[in-house]
């Protein structure tokens, strides 16, 4: 699976439908400007946004408003294309912590992330998906971030990375952890130092703080560099059974906390 660049509402959704059909999941990225309507007062926008339209008047920062509108249009358009329905027929709702889901629809899970001028949407017919995006060159190393984010094993592995690539590796780990915590619905309650991932030169695998692998193969993790400057990561839970969630199957969730 590779992320698909969607250049606006007029783009073909065939690649996304094919990805979901063949692999069960798809990751899409797009520029905010490509999904921002010319007139935010257009009645058609109100119809597509549904209940989210009422939130527009409470968003005072122009950049936040642009992001909110464009991201919801992209997410609902992508979901509608996969489900074979119009975007305005879908209603976005939000779980505690802000995780979006499609109200009344359990056959498609969705995730959303953004940074600067780029949006990312994840879709899956499997159990759960989480996506995250960050500037690939965002400075994290040397600011104390690594000790807030990394397990002891990851800190040791990070020291083995050549210095000029070390910050990028930390960004990759950050986006993987954000994607996984979104997928399981834990968000900021999930300490990033209590779970980890294998180094970039190995198959990405969920690890315990000491570096031992978490049993089970229900999760898959992938990271990509897109548009030459953004790091995108996705976490997808597939319990099998034809892509249908199995209620007895639970992800690895270590002790929770209210702080990183």
Please count the CA atoms within 13 angstroms of the CA of 248 that sit on its side-chain side: 1
Contacts of 85 (CB under 8 A, 6+ apart): none
Q: What is the pLDDT of residue 187?
A: 62
In this structure, the answer to whether residues 85 and 157 fall within a common structural domain is no
Q: Which residue has the higher pLDDT, 64 or 242?
A: 64
Instruction: Identify the three-state secondary structure at position 96.
Output: coil
In a domain, 252, yes or no: no
Closest of 39, 242, 12 to residue 127, by C-alpha = 242
Within its chain, how far is the Cα of 32 from the centroid? 16
Closest of 224, 28, 25, 229 to residue 112, by C-alpha = 28
Domain count of the fold of the chain: 2
DSSP state letters, 102-115? ETT--S-EEEEEEE
In this structure, the answer to whether residues 80 and 149 fall within a common structural domain is no
In a domain, 248, yes or no: no
In a domain, 157, yes or no: yes
In this structure, the answer to whether residues 151 and 110 fall within a common structural domain is no
Give CA–CA dist 159/132, Å, rounded.
24
User: 24-47: per-residue pLDDT in tens?
Assistant: 999 999 999 999 999 998 899 999
Identify the band that residue 247 occupies on the pLDDT scale cut at 50, 70 and 90: very low
What is the mean predicted confidence (pLDDT) over 158-185?
95
In this structure, the answer to whether residues 41 and 18 fall within a common structural domain is yes
Instruction: Identify the three-state secondary structure at position 82.
Output: helix
In this structure, the answer to whether residues 28 and 101 fall within a common structural domain is yes
CATH code, domain with 44: 3.90.470.20
In this structure, the answer to whether residues 120 and 154 fall within a common structural domain is no
In this structure, the answer to whether residues 49 and 112 fall within a common structural domain is yes
Show the domain range for 40. 4-125
Instruction: Identify the three-state secondary structure at position 140.
Output: coil
In this structure, the answer to whether residues 142 and 112 fall within a common structural domain is no
In a domain, 140, yes or no: yes
User: 65-84: per-residue pLDDT in tens?
Assistant: 999 999 999 999 999 999 99
Give CA–CA dist 34/118, Å, rounded.
10
């Amino acid at each position: 699976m590779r992320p698909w660049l969607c250049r606006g509402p007029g783009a073909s959704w065939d690649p996304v439908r094919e990805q979901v059909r063949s692999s069960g999941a798809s990751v899409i990225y797009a520029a905010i400007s490509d999904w921002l309507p010319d007139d935010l007062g257009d009645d058609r926008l109100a119809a597509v946004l549904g209940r989210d339209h009422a939130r527009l008047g409470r968003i005072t920062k122009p950049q936040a408003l642009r992001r909110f509108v464009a991201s919801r249009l992209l997410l609902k358009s992508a979901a509608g294309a996969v489900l074979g329905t119009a975007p305005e027929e879908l209603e976005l709702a939000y779980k505690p912590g802000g995780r979006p889901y499609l109200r009344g629809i359990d056959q498609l899970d969705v995730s959303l992330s953004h940074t600067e001028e780029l949006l990312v949407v994840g879709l899956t017919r499997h159990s759960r998906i989480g996506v995250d995006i960050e500037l690939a060159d965002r400075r994290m190393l040397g600011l104390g971030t690594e000790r807030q984010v990394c397990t002891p094993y990851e800190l040791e592995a990070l020291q083995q990375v050549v210095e000029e690539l070390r910050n990028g590796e930390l960004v990759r780990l950050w986006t993987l952890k954000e994607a996984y915590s979104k997928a399981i619905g834990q968000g900021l309650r999930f300490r990033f130092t209590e779970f980890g991932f294998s180094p970039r030169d190995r198959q990405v695998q969920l690890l315990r703080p000491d570096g031992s692998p978490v049993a089970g193969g229900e999760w898959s993790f992938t990271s990509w560099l897109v548009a030459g400057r953004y790091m995108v990561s996705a976490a997808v839970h597939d319990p099998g059974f034809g892509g249908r969630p199995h209620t007895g199957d639970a992800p690895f969730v270590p002790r929770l906390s209210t702080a990183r």
